[in-house]
A and B are shown apart, each in its own frame.
Chain A
Amino acid sequence: MSNKEWPIWEVFIRAKQGLNHKHVGSLHAADVQMAIENARDVYTRRMEGISIWVVESKHIHASEPSDQEALFEPANDKIYRHPTFYILPEELNHM
C-alpha cells in the first residue's frame, strides 16, 4: 500500500492542425501513458483537440510574480517597436 498520490501533469492541447498547443489544465496520473489517456477523457470529450502534450508539473519553471515589473516593464516605453510609431505620408498606402 503506497500512500503516494499520483503526480500532477499539465495538459496542452492542439485544437487543430496549424495551431500551437495551448495549456488547458492539469490532472493526476501514474505515468505518461496514463496522463495522455486521462487527458483524452478529461479535456477532449467534444473534439477539442487532435494532439496532446503532457508535462509533469514539477518540470515547469515559472517566473516570480514579484519579478513582473523587472521583467516586463522595460517593454512599456519602447513604442518605437510598433509600426504606428512611424509617421508616414497618407499617399503611401498600406505599408
Chain B
Amino acid sequence: MEINLEEVFQQKIDNEIKIEPRDWMPEKYRKTLLRQISQHAHSEIVGMLPEGNWITRAPNLRRKVALIAKVQDEAGHGLYLYSAAETLGMSRDEMLSELHSGKAKYSSIFNYPTVTWADMGAIGWLVDGAAIMNQVPLCRASYGPYARAMVRVCKEESFHQRQGYEIMLTLCTKGNPAQKAMAQDALNRWWWPSIMMFGPNDEHSPNSAQSMKWKIKRISNDELRQKFIDVTVPQADILGLTIPDKDLKWNEERGHYDFGTIDWEEFNQVVAGNGPCNKQRLKARVDAWNNGEWVRDAATAYAEKRAKREAGKTEAA
C-alpha cells in the first residue's frame, strides 16, 4: 500500500497537529519556514541597532533601563528564532553568513534612521505594535518550534509597545510645543513604513496562499494591516497627533478605516538595498561579527583547554 506522505502531512496540518523537527515535511515547507524564521531572527538582531543608537542619550534613568531591557529582549528574540530555524537543518553560522552577504533579508523598517528621541516612542508604539499584530497569529503556526518561540516573543513584546506609547504620551501631554512637534514628526516618518511592515497587498503576495494552506500564515497581509490601522487611529487621537494620511477616514459601511495608497515603490527600493540606512546596518552587523572573532576563538580555546585538563584529572584518578 502506498502512503502519500504529502497527503498525510496536509491531514496533520488540517487537523491542527503541529509538525515537529524530525517529522516528515515537504521540502518546500522546510525551505519556506527556514526563510521566514531566519529573516525574522535577522530582523530582531538588526532591529537592535536603531534603538541602540539612543541608549546613551536616553533622557533619564527610567527611560534608559527600559530601553536597554527592550534591546536585550530583541537579542533574546533573535536567539529563540535562530534556534527554531536551526531545527530545520541550517547552521547558525550559515544563517549569519547569508545575512552578512546580503543574501538573506530582514524587515525593511530597520533601514530607517532614528534621528530624535521621539523615534524611540514611535518605534515602540508603531513598529512593535505592527510586529505584535503580525506575531500573535504566528503563535499558532503549524511548525512547533516556531510557534513556541513566538509565544515567548509575544509575551515579552507587549512591554515594548507600552513603553513606546508612554514615551509618546509624555512628549504629547507633558512636553512643550517643540517636544510635541517632535512626536508628530516621528509619527509622520514612521507611519507609512510601519503599515508597509505587513508586506505587499494580497494580490501581489504570491506565496501567501501556500503559507495559509500550510498554516504558517493564518491571516492575510491586508487583513492584518487593516486591523493595525483600526486599532492605531484611536491611539493617535489620545495623543492628539495626526496620522499623515489625508485619505484616512472611518467607513461606516465597512466598519473599518479607509486609508490612502501605499507607496510600494519606496518599499521596493528599501528592500532592494536603497533605503537610508541599509549599508550602515549591514556594516554594523558584519563589523560586530568580525570584531568578535577573537572572543569566539578565545572561548573555544579555553573550553578545549579545560576539557583537556578535566580529562587529565580523570586519568590520574
Contacts and interface: CB of A to CB of B under 8 A. Distances in A.
A42 B79 contact: yes
Interface stretch (B198-206, B253-261, B295-303): B295-303
A2 B304 CA distance: 12
A51 interface: no
A89 to B, nearest CB: 40
Interface in A39-66: 41-42, 45-46, 62, 64-65
Interface in A1-57: 1-6, 8, 25-28, 30-31, 34, 41-42, 45-46
A27 B80 CA distance: 8
B297 A1 contact: yes
A52 to B, nearest CB: 15
B132 interface: no
Contacts of B31: none
B302 A30 contact: yes
B85 to A, nearest CB: 11
B296 A6 contact: yes
B22 to A, nearest CB: 5
Interface residues of A, number: 21
A64 B24 CA distance: 11
Interface in B39-88: 69, 72-73, 76, 79-80, 83, 86
B306 to A, nearest CB: 6
Given A25-B80, A46-B156, A62-B22, A4 B300 contact: yes
A65 B17 CA distance: 14
Contacts of A8: 83, 86
A45 B73 contact: yes
A4 B91 CA distance: 11
B23 interface: yes
B124 to A, nearest CB: 17
B216 to A, nearest CB: 20
B143 to A, nearest CB: 14
A2 B297 contact: yes
A1 B294 CA distance: 8
A45 B76 contact: yes
A28 B79 CA distance: 9
Interface of A: 1-6, 8, 25-28, 30-31, 34, 41-42, 45-46, 62, 64-65
Given A31-B303, A34-B299, 10 more contacts: A2-B301, A3-B93, A5-B93, A8-B83, A25-B148, A25-B149, A26-B86, A28-B92, A41-B76, A65-B24
21 contacts: A1-B293, A1-B297, A3-B93, A4-B300, A5-B91, A5-B93, A6-B296, A6-B300, A26-B83, A30-B303, A31-B303, A34-B303, A42-B80, A45-B69, A45-B73, A45-B76, A46-B156, A62-B22, A65-B20, A65-B22, A65-B24
